[in-house]
A and B are shown apart, each in its own frame.
Chain A
Amino acid sequence: MFGYGLILPALVLLTCLVAYPFGMAIYFSLSDYWVGSPGPFVGLTNFREILGNDVFRQTVQNSFLFTGVALTLKTALGVWLAVLLARDVRFKRVLRGAVLLPWVIPTALSTLGWWWMFDSLYSVVNWTAIHLGLMSAPGPNWLGQSNYAMAAVIVVNTWRGLPFFAITVLAGLMSIPREFYEAAEVDGATSRQRFWHVTLPLLKPVLAVVILFSTIFTFSDFNIVQVLTRGGPVNTTHLFATLAYQIGLQGGNLGQGAAISLFLFPMLALVVFLQLRYIRKE
């Protein structure tokens, strides 16, 4: 009984403010629901309309491109950075602190800084590239051209997510017993071979968890795109969350907005499934 009593507040909260709104999201998505005027049940009309909408199709494409590229970059750079930080270097604590900083500062605010760095006229990125002779003036309009805008949001997402990968992978690296490396060294393995045949296989469990986590949070990202591009130019950087915000809140069409955000659910379900299966196996 005591056990139930202790968990009750948490359960009540999560039922009322997570499970119930989730049910409401489904109900909204199946009805013609507008801000201030609850409408009738319309079945799958919202979904049908969304799927026939070019902006939505573009959003699906953007989301997979954004998540795929950002995740790859974060994984590769994160492992590399973790390997560097695991070495015997001085100022270890300061280095870790510096590298983790982008993850701690409010994302919406640091993205403002990136916005200024990608400004159409005063971009410091372009200024530097032009003065180094890497670019001819005036350089790309980062947030005004679709491919560049996508590159910009991916860069900022990678910048923000990299510390999470690096620090967790570093913890994974620290837990690998030294004997493994010594044994590999005795067998004459080069440092590259040690990385591919000792480090990476032993990191697999940690990497799997980190990648799964990051998948759902990258896929459902809102802050970076909302501040940097608002989904533009011409919807080429919209993600599910920003499109749902635009249609459901700014446009007032809660039904369609809810239907769009529900497209995050299959990805969530997949990640939960894999995580649970993985934890059970442990």
Chain B
Amino acid sequence: MSAPLVIFFVLAALAVIGAISLILQKHPIHSALSLIVVMVALAGLYLLIGAEFVAAVQIIVYGGAIMVLFVLVIMLLNAGEEERTNFSKLAKFGGLPLALALTGLLAATMTKHGASVANPETAGTLAPTGQISTLLFTTFVYPFELTSFLILVAIMGALVLAQREKS
């Protein structure tokens, strides 16, 4: 039971508990806080893999911007607790096992050929940030410029949506 394995199980348990809490909480703000816990746990897992820049970007963008947007919208709309749901029998006894079956199928497919994705020579090393930035501006420059255009379009869309109606 090496130290990375212990850290992996702790962070994985944290992520799964956060995801289950997202499903089971009644108030949307508690669901949002559970999702933040999941994101921070995932950032820890990225650090364990060695992708330190992705971990930092995950916390800054996902945890510090997107989830802040969610929390502010929940505060603005004054979202209350959800009403009592009455699921049909089909949903409870057919839907949940099907979702679990989907998960099991995905997990089984991924691990069936698990031995062939062995860890190569870069296992255990940190990914150099300078190399990521070089790649972003040389090989991946078209997607990079397109995503900046996408953000501009999203900003304009959000501005148009936020305008008051001219009545």
> Is the A/B pair a real complex?
no
Interface residues of B (CB under 8 A from A): none
- Chain A residues near B (Cβ < 8 Å): none
